[in-house]
Structure 1
Amino acid sequence: MGEIGGNDYNHALLAGKSIDDVKTYVPFVVEAIISAINELVELGAKTILVPGNLPIGCSATYLTLYNSFDSIEYDNLTGCLIKFNKFAEYHNKHLLTKLKQLRELHPYPNIIYADYYNAAMQFFCSPEKYGFKNGALKACCGGGGTFNYNAAILCANPTSTICSKPDTYANWDGLHLTEAAYKVISKSLLQGPYTVPQFNSFFPSLMLNEGDGLSSFL
């Protein structure tokens, strides 16, 4: 199940809608996810991986557009914007509750929650540990500024700049992550503790090669 809701929230928040306003979208977004899962179950799906939302408060886009001189707005460890990460957590909590109810209704298919949020927070908390020598917040491709994000000069604009070593960055273009970051997330989901129930409890023999990722398995 793709990251349903990401664009719904991003378009609204980046257009200036308040978090309280966008919170009212969450039940509708989650219901759309649950409805899609029900359809897949009826079609005979055996295993469904349902991702939560990423910590959007760590994206270069939000960090640039909602830049604040008030240090209380930021997480001391990661430098991410607290209120936007709390919003992502709000969505994820709502989704988890509904998935638990869904498992009770459909006990036989494997309905697995993919904790993108905490899988990603690993490298936002300790970027160098995962090889992100240029940090986890600054975009590799963008239009300059503190986080190399400029709404007027987006990645792929002829005047934008691209870093020479994308694998040393976690953030690609402001909203999307780099392949190296997604690799950390995919391994954490398939082989680690960042799914509910744990993915490897269903597929204990699953091993990823060095170049593999979640998309190559699916």
Structure 2
Amino acid sequence: MAGALRIVVPGNFPIGCFPFILNVLRTNDTSAYDRFGCLISVNNLAILQNNDLQGALDSLGREFPNVVILYADYYNAFQSLLQDATVLGIDSRNLLKVCCGVEGGQYNPLGPDFCGNPSVPVCSNPNRYIHWDGIHLTQKAYGRIATIIIEDIILRIKCFQ
């Protein structure tokens, strides 16, 4: 472990909630989506990967008992963000839409040009959105997720002291 004594390893987001994935894997089958409009099968894959990662981290913890290895639960932090969106000032109509992208469509998808190009529109208030461009989150969303993760890590570190 190269001398590290405390390590934080992030899990996967529920990528079935990301507009890029939703746009690419769009289906007319309404049973394929959860209550937020996320693709269940893609999120199930993320859950499997996160479970495997946690198992591997547990094995590493047994192999290196003097090292604190913590899992950062991005999946549930993001789900919490979706759940509490309106309380946080995020417009519930924009949960899965991008701030930077072409107006219209279900997710305001990016066209052939990327954010930063003068031809790509940007919403007037990014704080009302979770998604920046379909792959990345807005500053507000990342900030909320970071707060959730840090609070969780602090609680778990106290358990090791």
TM-score, reference length from structure 1:
0.67
1:111 aligns with 2:66: no
CA RMSD of the aligned region, Å? 1.7
CA distance in structure 2 between the aligned counterparts of 1:138 and 1:183, rounded to whole angstroms:
18
TM-score, reference length from structure 2:
0.89
Query: Secondary structure, in 3 states, of the residue corresponding to 2:86?
Result: helix
Instruction: Tell me the residue number matched to 2:130.
Output: 170
Instruction: Tell me the residue number matched to 1:200.
Output: 155
1:102 aligns with 2:60: yes
Distance 1:146 1:154, change over 3 A: farther
CA distance in structure 2 between the aligned counterparts of 1:98 and 1:124, rounded to whole angstroms:
28
Deviations 1:78-118 (A, max 9, x none): 11011111111111011011001110001111110000000
CA distance in structure 2 between the aligned counterparts of 1:126 and 1:149, rounded to whole angstroms:
24
| Displaced runs of 4 or more, over 6 A | none
Matched to 1:129, the amino acid is V
Consecutive unaligned residues in structure 1, runs of 5 or more: 1-40, 193-197, 205-218
Instruction: Tell me the residue number matched to 2:43.
Output: 85
Instruction: Tell me the residue number matched to 1:59.
Output: 18
Aligned counterpart in structure 2 of residue 141 of structure 1, from 97, 100, 121: 100
Number of aligned residues = 157
Identity score, percent: 37
Aligned 8 A contact 1:55 1:85 in 2? yes
RCO higher in structure (CA 8 A, sep ≥6):
2
Distance 1:201 1:123, change over 3 A: closer
1:68 aligns with 2:31: no
Instruction: Tell me the residue number matched to 1:187.
Output: 147
- Note the C-alpha offset of 1:156: 2.2
Deviations 1:32-90 (A, max 9, x none): xxxxxxxxx2x211211100010111011111122111101100x21101111111111
